[in-house]
Amino acid sequence: MALASVLQSESVDFSNYGRQRHGFASGLYEAELGLESVGGDRLSFALSTSCSNGDGPDRKIEFLHGTTTLAFKFQHGVIVAVDSRATAGSYIASQTVKKVIEINPYLLGTMAGGAADCSFWERLLARQCRVYELRNKERISVAAASKLLANMVYQYKGMGLSMGTMVCGWDKTGPGLYYVDSEGNRVCGDLFAVGSGSMYAYGIVDSGLKQKDLTVEEACDLGRRAIYQATYRDAYSGGQVNLYHVHSEGWTRVSQSDVLMLHQQYQAEKA
Amino acid sequence: TMFATQVYGDNGKMKEYHYTGPVEHRFSPYSFNGGTVLAVAGEDFAIVASDTRLSEGYSIHSRDSPKCYKLTDTTVIGCSGFHGDCLTLTKIIDARLKMYKHSNNKCMTSGAIAAMLSTILYGRRFFPYYVYNIIGGLDEEGKGAVYSFDPVGSYQRDTYKAGGSASAMLQPLLDNQIGFKNMEGVQHLPLSQEKAVQLVKDVFISAAERDVYTGDALRICIVTKDGIKEETVPLRKD
């Protein structure tokens, strides 16, 4: 398996031990996909169920179910906007998480679900994309990159990985946007929002995208506003809004805005 | 009792003190040994501090078990959670540091150690090391750096971070005093080493008041370009 070979560690005897039951109180990420990843009874060990008594690590691993990430295609490329809050239960573990992973200068990946799962597998994806470039002497397409990621995590399906990511880039077919998750979904689309605050974000982006042909600045404002509104209403999203724009030359980091500052700015605009 | 069973409920605290009926006992490979760790990064220094109490349930195993471990001349790691995993993890890190030194003929930088620790932790994604790690040290430019981790390897660089049992008590105070959060009209002065050390002492004294797992003594490791200085300060022993 990819995990064992990369880390050169002997395959773990208790490899199915730590499988978590996704009984999170918010249960929001899984709920959106209409899926329930229960540990399952693959193990003959009765030990697997003792995790559920709230042992430290199972409860305190940082899961970014509470999150809002979005990406949408428009005339001039792809806009990617994310919040920056990470929660461990109801404790806010960090307000400064980088939920956009820079896979390479023309590919971005977003993070939702398990923080370690997302950053590890997307870092591995970066490695695979580089190998592809060296072997084929050309950049990897967004479709191929997202497929690599989907296939990597599919091997671990049912083992408790939690990852909901959007692979965004620009290749020779134009702007590319794929949603990939740890359940095995891989879908191409023009607009995705992932996380507990996604419904609020969808509302803003759907209404803003009605008018066609957005300029880069309008699209950035739309993405920023959508995340801000999501952080306003979703307790599990917050911190800062990180905004990226993917265009034909690659991606650009547009802005990082503190949500409190945005709030004051929008209040002032209303007046 | 020396082995952990399901009688210990959330967070290692005992579920019930009095017998209330049949209880199912299950072996748990984990145990919670308490302890709090804190790291602060300054302009040209880094501080890693931890209390020295080692507990299990209602007992204290030791009053002198610091949770800071020196890795290199410019990096210190603080590990709290399950003491067994802390020991093994630090042994593994030391071994990997040696291997790197032999292969590459140079010491690992703080950033490299952080990236390596992330993959070591993720290697046990399905049977995690029950350890909350915080690395404090100097980066390649000589500036203070703090890296905080979750048990499965997610990490990021911070200016300050508290981890362990009293982290939820310490972190908000640090947010206010070092991050100047929720303060208006205050000048953002850079943090001096003396002020940082005093703040760390004050913060731990407060934590020892209200967290049962934190106390006995405070070990502070100050990392500067001149090396690592250690200071020990007594805390409440009750």
The pLDDT tens digits for B117-169 are: 999 999 999 999 999 999 999 999 999 999 999 999 999 999 999 999 999 99
Interface test with A, best of B126, B133, B184 (most A CBs within 10 A): B126
B161 vs A16, B191, B192, B218, CA distance in Å? Answer: 32, 15, 17, 16
Is the pLDDT at A59 greater than 70, yes or no?
no
Interface test with B, best of A5, A120, A240, A260 (most B CBs within 10 A): A120
What predicted TM-score, i.e. pTM, was given to this entire model? 0.83
Residue-wise DSSP of A45-81:
-GGGGGGGGT-HHHHHS-EETS--EEEEEETTEEEEE
Cβ atoms of B82 and B33 within 8 Å: the answer is yes
Residue in A43, A5, A13, A6 with CA at minimum distance from that of residue A158: A43
Q: Residues of A with CB below 8 A from B126's CB?
A: 12, 14-19, 159-160
| Residue A210, pLDDT score | 73
State residue A7 phi and psi, 5-degree precision: -90, -5
The 3-state secondary structure of A33-49, one letter per residue: CCCCCCCCCCCCCHHHH
Helix, strand, coil share of chain B (percent; to 5): 30, 30, 40
Chain A positions touching chain B (beta carbons under 8 Å):
3, 6-7, 9, 12, 14-19, 47, 50, 53-57, 59-62, 86, 88, 91, 93-94, 96-98, 114-117, 119-120, 159-161
DSSP helix/strand/coil, B195: helix
A163 CA to chain B: closest CA distance, Å? Answer: 13
* Six token digits for residue B191: 């943090």
Q: Residues of B with CB below 8 A from A17's CB?
A: 29, 126-127
Q: Residues of A with CB below 8 A from B99's CB?
A: none
* Six token digits for residue A148: 């690599």
| Residue B17, pLDDT score | 64
Active site residues of A: 67
- Over range B68-96, report the average pLDDT: 96
- Going edge to edge, which strands form the sheet with A91-94? A91-94, A86-88, A63-64, A113-114
Comparing CB atoms, the residue among B126, B150, B158 nearest residue A160 is B126
| Residue A4, pLDDT score | 55
* Six token digits for residue A52: 């559920």
Q: Residues of A with CB below 8 A from B103's CB?
A: none
Contact B118 A12 (CB under 8 A): no
Above pLDDT 70, what percent of chain A? 75
Cβ atoms of B213 and B65 within 8 Å: the answer is no
**Distance of alpha carbon B118 from alpha carbon A123, whole angstroms:** 11
Q: Say how many Å lie between the first and final Cα of chain B, rounded.
A: 21
Above pLDDT 90, what percent of chain A? 67
DSSP helix/strand/coil, B86: helix
**Distance of alpha carbon B193 from alpha carbon B191, whole angstroms:** 7
Q: Residue A258: closest CA among chain B residues belongs to which residue?
A: B181
- Over range A153-174, report the average pLDDT: 94
Strand-pair partners of B78: B68, B134
Is the pLDDT at A264 greater than 90, yes or no?
yes
- H or E stretch at A171: strand A164-171
Is the pLDDT at A207 greater than 70, yes or no?
yes
Higher-confidence residue of A20 and A182: namely A182
**Distance of alpha carbon B71 from alpha carbon B90, whole angstroms:** 8
| Residue B11, pLDDT score | 59
Q: Residue B25: closest CA among chain A residues belongs to which residue?
A: A50
B226 CA to chain A: closest CA distance, Å? Answer: 31
For the ranges A147-161, B6-20, B203-217, the lowest mean pLDDT is seen at B6-20
pLDDT in tens, A79-108: 999 999 988 888 898 999 999 999 999 999
Comparing CB atoms, the residue among B10, B118, B128 nearest residue A57 is B128
* Six token digits for residue B140: 């390649």
B123 CA to chain A: closest CA distance, Å? Answer: 6
Average pLDDT, chain A: 81
pLDDT in tens, A109-131: 999 988 899 999 999 999 999 99
A15 CA to chain B: closest CA distance, Å? Answer: 6
The distance of Cα A19 from the centroid of its chain, to the nearest Å, equals 21
* Six token digits for residue B70: 């020196």
Contact B30 A56 (CB under 8 A): yes
Contact B10 A94 (CB under 8 A): no
Q: Residues of A with CB below 8 A from B10's CB?
A: 53-54, 59
* Six token digits for residue B6: 């399901």
| Residue B16, pLDDT score | 59
pLDDT in tens, B11-70: 555 565 666 778 888 899 999 999 999 999 999 999 999 999 999 999 999 999 999 999
Q: Residues of B with CB below 8 A from A55's CB?
A: 28, 30, 130
Instruction: State whether the Cα torsion A42-A43-A44-A47 is positive or negative.
Output: negative
| Residue A16, pLDDT score | 36
* Six token digits for residue B145: 């750096």
Comparing CB atoms, the residue among A47, A91, A97 nearest residue B156 is A97
**Distance of alpha carbon A138 from alpha carbon A129, whole angstroms:** 10
Contact B126 A53 (CB under 8 A): no
DSSP helix/strand/coil, B113: helix
Q: Residues of A with CB below 8 A from B12's CB?
A: 56
Interface test with A, best of B150, B158, B160 (most A CBs within 10 A): B150
